[in-house]
Structure 1
Amino acid sequence: MNKRILIVEDEKNIVDILSFNLSKEGYETLEAYDGQAGLQLALEQNPDLILLDLMLPKMDGFEVCRSLRRENRSTPVIMLTAREEETDKVLGLELGADDYITKPFSMRELLARVKANIRRNEMAAGMAAPAAPTATGKRIELGRISIDPELMVVYKDQHALELTQREYELIKFLGAQPGKVFSREALMEHVWNYEGYVGDVRAVDVAIRRLREKVEDDPASPQFVVTRRGLGYYFNA
C-alpha cells in the first residue's frame, strides 16, 4: 500500500503543487485547508506523515500538533512556515513536530525530508514490535545510565525514564560510543536519517535540551549528555 501524506495548508496553489509532486513519487495525498479539518483527518485517517502549515484558519498549526500529541499520535509532522522567527521553529519542535521547512522551499529538499521521516518512523515501529516484558541482559551499561536496546528503554539509577522515540534514539546513538563527539550535522544524519545533511540544525539543540530535562540531575549543568563547545555533543559515561 502506498504511503499517505496529509497536507494541511490553506493556500490551494501550494496544496496542488505538493499533491502533484508527492503523487509523482508514489504517495497518496489527503488535503485539508484549515486546522480543524486537518486535525480531524489526521485522527480519522491515520496518515503516514503530515505536512502542516503554521498559519491556518480555525486552528493554527501549533494547536493541531499539540492536539495530536495529546492523543498519543506519533505520526511524523513536518511544519511548513513562511516565518523566519526562531521562536516559531523552536515552539513547533517543543510541541512535538519532527521537523520544519521554511517557505519557499525546494521540492527536492521537501521530498527528501518526507522520505527520511517516514523511514525513521518505520524503523522505530519495527524495533518496538518484539519487546519482551523482562530485562534481556543485553543492556548498554553507562554508569548510572543503562540502555536496553531490545526493550527500547533507558534507565537512570535503575528507574525507567519516559522518553520520546527521538530522545531514545538520540541517547542510544550517543551512548553506543561514549566519549566520541558528534557534530549536529552528524546527529541529523544518523539519528534523523538525513543523509549528507547540510542546513539548519536547531532541531538537534531542542532535542538535546529536552533529553537533558529527563536524564540530568541538573539540566543546566549536564553530566551525561555534554556539549563540546564548537564541535557538538557526546555521552560522558
Structure 2
Amino acid sequence: MKKNLLFAASLLAVSGFMAACGTSDTAEEPTETTDTSEETADTAPEDTVEEALEEEVAEDVPAEEAVEEETEDSGSGTDATEDSPEEASGDVSEAVETEGTLTQSDEQAYELYVLPGYELTSEEPNKDSLYVAEDDSVFMRIETFTTEQLDFASAEETMKQTLNAVNPDAEAVEGQPLENSAVTNSSVYEVDSTEGTVTGITFEKEDLIVRLTIFDNEELNATEDFKRMGQTIERTE
C-alpha cells in the first residue's frame, strides 16, 4: 500500500514537472511571435515606400509616353511646315489661275488671268493697260511680240531706255529675275519716279516676248500682283 502511494506521488511530481516545462515552452513562444511582429513592423514601412515608388513610376510612364507622342506630333507639324515652302515655290501662275478670271486681249494675241479688283483694256495699238479698278493711275502696260518680230536682247534694251526716260536723273536698278519654270529668259529693273516706283520686266515664254511696265505707288503697292498676273500671259495664235 505504501509502495502504491509513493508511486502515485512520483507520478504526480513528474506530471507537475512536465506541466511546468510545457508552460515555460508555451510562454517563450509568444516572445518569438512578438519578435516576428517587430520585424514585420520594421519592414512594413520599407515595403510601403517601395510600393509607393513603384506606383509613382507607373503613373509617370504614361506621362512620358504622352510627351513622346506630343513630340512626334510636333515633328509631324514641323514636317508640314517645312513642306509649305516647297508648295510656295511652285509657279505663281497656279494661284492666280485659281483666284483670277481668264481674259482675252482685244488688240493683241494673248490671254491672261486677271485678279479681282483689276481690269484690262486696250491703251493703243500693241499696248494694253491692266489697271487697279479704284485707281487707274496704278497700272501695268503690256506689250507682246513673237520671237520672229523681236528677240529678247532687243526687248530688254528698249525696256532700259523706257525706264531711263521715266527718270533721267536716276539709274535703273536690276532686280531678281522671275522664278517661273515656263519662262526661259527674264530681266527686272526698277527706277524711282515722282509718283512712285516704275518696274520694267522683260521675259521670254515659249515663242512669245513680253514687256511689262508697272507704274505703282506706295499707297496701293500693287507691283507683286501685276507680276503674278503678267506671268500668266499665254499666246492665243
Pick the TM interval, shorter chain.
Answer: under 0.3
Q: TM-score, normalised by structure 2?
A: 0.23
Q: TM-score, normalised by structure 1?
A: 0.23
Question: Which one has the largest radius of gyration?
Answer: 2
